[in-house]
Structure 1
Amino acid sequence: MTAERTDERVQILKSLRAYLLRQRAKFNDYLNILAREKYAVLSEDTDKMREHLELEQSIVSEIYNLQRVIDPLKDLHRQRYPERETGIRDLENSLENIKEKALAHNKNVRELILSRQKVLSRRLESLRPHRQARSPYADIGVPTLVDIRS
């Protein structure tokens, strides 16, 4: 391998590693947000829930954008250097584990939100007055006389 190809490979690997590390850090941030969001849901703090949702959307967007950069770098590395780099492979495996944790935690938080939503819906339903309020004249019976003096 020439020095130029070696330098190119090193540069691709450095870039790929840097982006994978940034993505892993974002996933860790995402896990922290999900943990805090769970407590906000349990305490029924809607302001904190809204804050966490906005942060969550921002982080997911950043993760997606990083993935859009990582995929071409991976493809470029695979095309030019078919043998896999162990450091990158370990980092990718670590990232996959964090992704799985984040998905599982996200699922738990969504289920918690849905269960809290059902509880709140039932609570609201019990506070509403009856939909078909009975008329106070409903039990008078059938009228038999009509007063025409008025």
Structure 2
Amino acid sequence: MASTESETKQTPLTEEELAHRVAVMKRFRELLLEQRNRFQEYLVVLDKQKDVIEKGDTDALLSHVELEEKIVSDIFAIQKVIDPLEDLYRASYPERETEVPKLKAALEELKHEAVQRSQRNRNLLSERMEKLRSEIKTLRNNPFAARRSVYDNSGAASLIDIKG
């Protein structure tokens, strides 16, 4: 029983262990805040992208897609660092987690919102593409599109037979 009592008693932390725990906590919090900011930036881009899709501006859409890819790449890069750091944080602070769960909940909410807006934009883009396909099909079926103009010289002979 003496060993159980000694196991339940906590040994005081050294300055180095305490400094390490504080550094882990600060870095973890910074990364969560950075991740939250990236998601907020992503939501703004998705909203602007929606407007661009509705206007049909393909050049602007291309630049928004490129920006979106960069932000998503940043989000995944930060997440790769957050995951192991979260394990260190939980090991350092198993008993007290007050601010981190709030940040994580806000992040999850932002992720959910980003997924919804991204899906909305995909749906809008699909509708726009279908509309364009329909317009192209209508143009192809136009009976006047196949006729040549009397002023069209592209079908004229380029060589003249003078020997007869």
Question: TM-score, length-normalised on structure 1?
Answer: 0.82
How far apart, CA to CA, are the structure 2 residues paired with 1:78 and 1:28?
Answer: 26
The reply to whether residue 26 of structure 1 matches residue 55 of structure 2 is: no
Superposed displacement of residue 104, structure 1? 0.6
Structure 2 unmatched ranges of 5 or more: 1-11, 143-164
Partner residue of 1:41? 53
Distance change in 2, residues 1:33/1:24 (3 Å): same
Superposed displacement of residue 75, structure 1? 1.1
Structure 1 unmatched ranges of 5 or more: 131-150
2:19 corresponds, among 4, 7, 19, to: 7
Distance change in 2, residues 1:13/1:113 (3 Å): same
Per-residue CA deviation, residues 41-88 of structure 1 (Å, 9 max, x unaligned), is 000000110010000000000000000000010011223332242111
Larger displacement relative to structure 2 (73-82 or 102-111): 73-82
Per-residue CA deviation, residues 83-140 of structure 1 (Å, 9 max, x unaligned), is 242111111111111111111111111111011111111111111147xxxxxxxxxx
Runs of 4+ in 1 over 6 A off after TM superposition: none
Superposed CA RMSD in Å reads 1.3
Question: TM-score, length-normalised on structure 2?
Answer: 0.76
